[in-house]
């Protein structure tokens, strides 16, 4: 069997794990998670099979937007530790086979950042052009990203009698990417963190960062914003031959192709597949695989140097903005019928297990799906144990609750009084008393052990990250069957979106008699030379089937 050396493209078959240091583990018992606590849990992440650790913002911040309002791009928030603590985490992670990436937030700063303080000091400040200023807001400005918080993308500054742009919150003024000095600073940021050991970045709000024509206009706009994105990718390649840019691009398919760099693949390395994620929830609501299949088939081909990142949910709201109004209402009705479960009129602030009413069959089917889709799986901390949300917390904070390590006080996150925690723990049936790492590590039937099993088989099957994707036609609307072929290896994955046991017909092109080896259960299904067979799937069932020649002693 020929296996290609793919080490430089490690992200093709990575297992990415996103966490917020502030809510992961509090080691000094001040109510706030820290790098010292994270260092104590790197062995846990290694056991889980994580190969890439994605750190949400850890920079100094007033913390009005969960760390995305930054006052210093070259430092660590002292509440979390210091640079030495971070470097030790990176070194220890690398010793355990994990790379580390971090959020690159280049769209805006905090209004407390020294650049903005100087920018608003006078119209002649050298830092004035670090931000976007106008005498009057444009008449046709876009709708605010957070309509429940802001009614405009522009804020008046009384001292200098001009308006500054803020696509997000008014306390997050937008950087002026058209200014070469700003672009130089962004390169310096990237170079700084790469030198400290990072293996790349998750790039925040990429389309907003590149949108200069509508805001700046005229000669000041970047002639080709994507040329700037190509320059960032090129810079990363020069500084780190294996670095990754994982982009947040929630746009229609034709636009996503542009952010990859088209056939050249010279812009973003990876993009989150927001469209397939949203269609997956529609498929779950309808118990019909059709919407997800449609979304996956609509993916642009792109370059072999590009990759999709698959996810069940992320750290923001579970956005449904790419669904039609009718489709979104279906998902709301199924998984978030209460207003407090919804946000911005477009998303949900819930985690998967509560949405599926704790049904272990459906929860496990979804995670089997996540790891078997073509692309790279991304987990949000706590997903591996089935954490829920705290709907008493405002907006997105409902899912940014402390990690649940044991059934004790504050879920083992911190020993302080609950009132001193950075965020309140989950309550009820998905809280620490019922859902925690300690109990699940001892239970061979737990979700944690199941996720570890999926990770192990995923990492042993390069087809998932590298393979050519094909949908296998089905007479049953609830069944999603697909194959992934890479070199001389092929896997067939089959998932049942309904509660009904179903006989699933499969037809594969093969040479001679073969068999299908179930990677998860170890069962075998004979596959005659016709390539036709039937398998039985329980309600919400799933199977990962490797195609091997009959009698092959190397079939694993």
What's the total number of domains in the chain?
A: 3
d(CA 136, CA 7): 52
Q: Based on the domain organization, do 516 and 438 belong to the same domain?
A: no
- Tell me, yes or no, whether 345 and 485 share the same domain: no
Q: Please report where in the chains the tokens 């937030």 appear, as a residue.
A: 105
Nearest Cα neighbor of 230 from 186, 265, 272, 271 is: 265
Residue 497 sits in a domain whose CATH number is 2.60.40.1180
Residues 55, 161: one domain? no
Could you tell me if 388 and 484 lie in one domain?
no
Global pTM exceeds 0.75: yes
Conformation bin of residue 401: beta by default, left when phi > 0, alpha when psi is -120 to 50: beta
Check if 248 is active-site.
Answer: yes
200 and 324: one domain? yes
CA-angle at 284, arms to 278 and 286, nearest 5°: 105
Query: Which spans in 196-222 are helix H?
Result: 206-210
Long-range pairs for 283-287 at CB < 8 Å and ≥24 separation? 283/480, 283/497, 284/334, 284/335, 284/356, 284/362, 284/366, 284/497, 285/330, 285/331, 285/333, 285/334, 285/335, 286/330, 286/497, 287/478, 287/497, 287/498, 287/499
- Of 165, 197, 231, the domain-final residue: 165
CATH number for position 18: 3.20.20.80
Give the pLDDT confidence of 390-424 residue by residue, as tens digits: 999 998 999 999 999 999 999 999 999 999 999 99
Active site residue 325: no
Residue 2 has a pLDDT of 37
At 8, the pLDDT band (50, 70, 90 cuts) reads confident
- pLDDT of 197-256, one tens digit each? 999 999 999 999 998 866 665 567 788 899 999 999 999 999 998 999 999 999 999 899
Residues 465-523 pLDDT 10s: 999 999 999 999 999 999 999 999 999 999 999 999 999 999 999 888 899 999 999 99
* Enclosing H/E stretch for 237: helix 225-239
Answer whether residue 536 shows pLDDT above 60: yes
List the domain range (segments joined by +) for residue 161.
Answer: 114-165
| Same domain as 102, residue 119 | no
Q: Is 362:284 a contact under the CB 8 Å cutoff?
A: yes
Residues 410, 265, single domain; the answer is: yes
- Indicate if 454 and 481 belong to the same structural domain: no
Choose the catalytic residue: 20, 26, 65, 204. 204
pLDDT of residue 555: 58
Q: Provide the sign of the torsion angle of the four alpha carbons 464, 468, 469, 473, taken in this order.
A: negative
Residues 421 and 490 grouped into a single domain: no
Same domain, 479 and 541: yes
Residue 86 has pLDDT above 60, yes or no: yes
Contact of 515 with 523, CB cutoff 8 Å: no
Q: Which of 26, 111, 174, 248 is catalytic?
A: 248
Query: Which 8-state DSSP code applies to residue 511?
Result: S
């Amino acid at each position: 069997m020929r296996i290609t050396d793919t080490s430089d493209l490690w992200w093709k078959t990575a297992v990415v794990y996103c966490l917020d240091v502030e809510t992961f583990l509090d080691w000094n018992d001040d109510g706030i998670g820290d790098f010292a606590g994270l260092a104590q849990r790197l062995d846990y992440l290694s056991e889980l099979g994580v190969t890439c650790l994605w750190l949400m913002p850890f920079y100094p911040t007033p913390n009005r937007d969960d760390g995305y309002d930054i006052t210093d791009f070259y430092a660590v928030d002292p509440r979390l530790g210091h640079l030495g603590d971070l470097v030790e985490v990176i070194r220890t992670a690398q010793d355990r086979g994990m790379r580390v990436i971090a959020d690159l937030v280049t769209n805006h700063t905090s209004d407390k950042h020294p650049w903005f303080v100087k920018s608003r000091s006078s119209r002649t400040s050298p830092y004035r052009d670090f931000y976007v200023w106008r005498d009057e807001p444009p008449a046709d400005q876009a709708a605010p990203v957070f309509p429940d918080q802001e009614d405009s993308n522009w804020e008046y500054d009384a001292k200098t009698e001009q308006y500054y742009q803020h696509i997000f919150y008014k306390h997050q003024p937008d950087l002026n990417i058209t200014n070469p000095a700003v672009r130089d600073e962004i390169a310096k940021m990237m170079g700084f963190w790469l030198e400290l050991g990072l293996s790349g970045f998750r790039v925040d709000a990429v389309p907003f960062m590149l949108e200069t024509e509508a805001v700046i206009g005229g000669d000041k706009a970047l002639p080709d914003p994507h040329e700037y994105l190509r320059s960032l990718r090129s810079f990363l390649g020069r500084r780190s031959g294996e670095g990754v840019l994982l982009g947040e691009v929630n746009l229609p398919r034709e636009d996503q192709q542009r952010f990859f760099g088209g056939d050249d693949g010279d812009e973003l390395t990876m993009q989150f597949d927001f469209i397939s994620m949203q269609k997956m929830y529609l498929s779950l609501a309808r118990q019909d695989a059709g919407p997800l299949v449609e979304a996956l088939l609509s993916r642009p081909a792109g370059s072999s140097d590009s990759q999709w990142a698959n996810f069940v949910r992320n750290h923001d709201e579970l956005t449904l903005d790419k669904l039609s109004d009718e489709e979104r209402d279906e998902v709301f009705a199924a998984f978030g019928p209460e207003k407090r479960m919804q946000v911005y009129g477009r998303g949900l602030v819930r985690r998967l297990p509560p949405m599926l009413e704790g049904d272990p069959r459906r929860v496990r089917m979804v995670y089997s799906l996540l790891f078997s889709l073509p692309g790279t799986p991304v987990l949000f901390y706590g997903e591996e144990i089935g954490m829920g949300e705290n709907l008493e917390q405002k907006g997105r904070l409902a899912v940014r609750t402390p990690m649940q390590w044991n059934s004790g006080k504050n879920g083992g996150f911190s020993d302080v009084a609950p009132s001193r925690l950075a965020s309140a723990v989950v309550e009820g049936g998905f809280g620490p008393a019922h859902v925690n790492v300690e109990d699940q590590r001892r239970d061979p039937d737990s979700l944690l052990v199941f996720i570890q099993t999926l990770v192990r088989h995923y990492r042993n099957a390069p087809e998932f990250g590298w393979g050519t994707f094909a949908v296998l036609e089905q007479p049953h609307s609830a069944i999603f069957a697909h194959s992934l072929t890479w070199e001389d290896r092929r896997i067939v994955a089959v998932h049942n979106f309904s509660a009904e046991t179903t006989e699933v017909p499969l037809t594969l092109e093969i040479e001679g008699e073969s068999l299908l080896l179930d990677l998860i259960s170890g069962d075998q299904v004979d596959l005659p030379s016709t390539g036709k067979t039937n398998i039985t799937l329980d309600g919400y069932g799933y199977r990962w089937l490797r195609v091997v020649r009959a009698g092959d002693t190397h079939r694993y």
